[in-house]
Amino acid sequence: MATAADYGLGPNVFPRGWFIVAESKELDQGPMAVRFFGQDMALYRGESGRPVMLDAYCAHMGTHLTDSNSAMIVKNGEQIEGDSIRCPYHGWRYNADGDVDDIPYHDGPCPKSASIRSYPVVDNMGCIMAWYDPDGRAPDYDPPKLPEWDDPQWVQWELDHLGELSIHPQEILDNMADVRHLGPTHGAPSEYFENEFKDHVYIQRQGGPMQLYNCYLYTTTWYTGPGLLLSKQVFGDTLIFELIANTPVEDGVVKCWHACLYRGSANPATAEDREAAKQAQAGALEAFSADFNIWQNKRPALKIMQLKTDGPFRVGRQWYSQFFQCPDEAKATQQALNGILHTQGMDKPEDRGHDIDQGLPF
């Protein structure tokens, strides 16, 4: 298993950014015990509807805040109070900022040393997204949001839960530069291709015939930070936005999700549109599964035998490295990389009439 250090990504083990930690409807079923970034976390929805994520263990005696179903406080539905949560062992109450604000059997001030870490969390496009920074800094950019999500003509997605994959996310991000795998792996040889770097956003524009869809496919794909990919895809009369998300679980292990937002034929979308959306998401998942299967059966590509006609792997890896750096170093990396790169031997998007970026949130 390759680690961040193997790819020379230091000094941090895990990247800074917004990541999916659950599907929104999962959290509606009650508090969750989750593990990401090499540590256990407690995830729950407060009575206001606000999602909250804290480090998992109560500072009092080390009890997991959300991994109990036998304690009576849990069985009686009394664990969540407002946006706070009580430990199932002794009832110490943690607020959404991770501070203890009540101890049932203690009248004095609550110990400040009992505070645990709280993470910025949003409920966004059917996903619970959390901001992770290994040094505890506040978010320095917003999570992506598609305006189409709130448009009744569009059929909202439900996430495909793809489970854990023993691969470092660097290898997943490599796909953004990898124009030459699109033919052999996906049956969609690219006829034009470019990458663009805009600070924390990494963009890919490409198009070509798609065997699976039996038509020409135009795509503009972009990462907002290291863990959230969105892709606008136009083929035939179909328009979708694909989501592919990866969140580090351990150093070299990620959890993955997939989904598609589908434009219906009417406003609001019809039952037929909803069925077509399911088929579109299944087709997109079949295409993505080709990558997933490759990743399951390869050794780490710590160094790539780079050809000039492959795509800008080196630059893409430099872009990814910013999320392991301190903010000043990351800003310098952004300034050095910002701009458009073309791959040798590929036509440019403007030469092929690629014009699907209007309204995209970058």
Q: For residue range 209-225, what is the model confidence (pLDDT) as tens digits?
A: 999 889 999 999 999 99
Tens digits of residue pLDDT in 127-174: 999 999 999 999 999 999 999 999 999 999 999 999 999 999 999 999
What is the mean pLDDT of the segment spanning 323-352?
96
What is the mean pLDDT of the segment spanning 306-328?
95
Mean per-residue pLDDT of the chain: 97
Neighbours of 330 (CB within 10 A): 18
Tens digits of residue pLDDT in 260-305: 999 999 999 999 999 999 999 999 999 999 999 999 999 999 999 9
Contact (CB, 8 A) for 64 and 74 = no
pLDDT at 250: 98
Predicted TM-score of the model (pTM): 0.97
